[in-house]
Structure 1
């Protein structure tokens, strides 16, 4: 990774102002000095970060959710995910989100990596976890949270991605990042 102080493409912040302070999203507008010394404006969203969980059942099916997403006006198939609370450990967040949304707890947790879903307009990062050794203990959905929990075979997930039925970027990225760890048995 390059050092922003030495990167010839780096932009330097000259001024920064918050233009919107929402419940979760914070919008900023910065004046920047571009690599050639000219000036520019950057508008972006500050996001607290999130986790996504690839939850693997013993029979090689994955836990999915079907959830309505208001900005696009329809339900999507997604892996369990959620926002990191201020000061919260990322693994603790993954454990909490899996339990709250799906009712499952996992014996084994593995951090698979991180993704940045919206690099052109947000600092959001999504930490990817693989959870296995699942036990169903009952969900504890947040107030105002409505979703369906499904169990999908790995091969079916791949087919749904290829057919365009699964289009959620965090789900597609997390699935393919975790796939090598799931093992060949799950793909047969």
Structure 2
């Protein structure tokens, strides 16, 4: 079946079937895989991609209406980036527990309430990474516990200023831009969040 736009309506007509998998590289954090796949038209192709354990990003809402951000040097692109707090999932870790841990370790803050806003796939062409997006409020400041070799600075800003940074190209991190979309819509009352007390 084909839609009015000429595109197939049936997802099954688009799916590639894996025939073979090869592990090209195994690192301490990421792995590179190469699959040979059967294409929908019967042909074959190879797909190289990064296997990622998944991650969590947190939008921390301060009581004065500002949001908490981090500035961190990212080696692959050689720049200090402005980002919301985030970190990778440990094996078997619950995403909320990961978000609580990352917020506490990187910023020193704990939160009274949390809300899950869903998940995003930031690099669908070449990575399995899924990032779980959480909002946190009722923040209480404490002591940071950065990982060895981790260096970052904390800052706070308004949504309006963060929007200006995105417009001007100062914020280009995809997860932070996706969080900003959520933040705008939540603050405008367009998208609802299901707030819950933080588990002990």
Report the equivalent of 1:35: 40
Question: Runs in 1 of length 4+ with deviation above 6 angstroms?
Answer: none
Question: Which residue does 1:8 correspond to in 2?
Answer: 13
Equivalent position of 2:68 in the other structure: 63
Residue 78 of structure 2 is matched in structure 1 by: 73
- 1:113 positional shift: 1.1
Contact 1:44 1:121 in 2 (8 A): yes
Partners of 2:175 and 2:77 in 1: CA distance: 16
For 2:79 and 2:180, locate their aligned partners in 1 and report how far apart those are by CA, in whole Å: 22
Contact 1:56 1:133 in 2 (8 A): yes
The two structures, once aligned, show a CA RMSD in angstroms of 1.3
Whether 1:177 aligns to 2:182 is: yes
| Equivalent in the alignment of 1:113 | 118
SS at match of 1:87: coil
Question: What is the deviation of 1:105?
Answer: 0.4
Secondary structure at the counterpart of residue 7 of structure 1:
helix
How far apart are the structure 1 equivalents of 2:69 and 2:134? 14
Cα distance in 1 for residues equivalent to 2:184 and 2:98: 22
Deviation at 1:177, TM superposition (A): 1.8
**Deviation sequence 1:118-169 (CA, Å, 0-9, x none):** 0000010000000000000111101100000001111100110111100000
Shift of 1:78: 0.4
TM-score (norm 1): 0.93
Residue 162 (1) aligns with residue 156 (2): no
- Residue 133 in 1 paired to residue 150 in 2? no
Q: Normalization by structure 2: what TM-score?
A: 0.87
Shift of 1:6: 5.9
- After TM superposition, give the deviation of residue 175 of structure 1 in Å: 1.8
The DSSP-based 3-state class of the residue aligned with 2:163 is helix
Of the three residues 58, 81, 87, the one matched with 2:92 is 87
Report the count of equivalent residues.
Answer: 180
> Structure 2 CA distance, aligned partners of 1:153 and 1:97?
22
Q: Which runs of 5+ in 2 are unaligned?
A: 1-9, 190-200
Output the CA distance in 2 between the equivalents of 1:51 and 1:6. 29
Query: Unpaired segments of 5 or more residues in structure 1?
Result: none
Query: Which residue is 1:146 aligned to?
Result: 151
How far apart, CA to CA, are the structure 2 residues paired with 1:128 and 1:6? Answer: 27
In structure 2, C-alpha distance between the alignment counterparts of 1:61 and 1:50, rounded to whole Å: 24
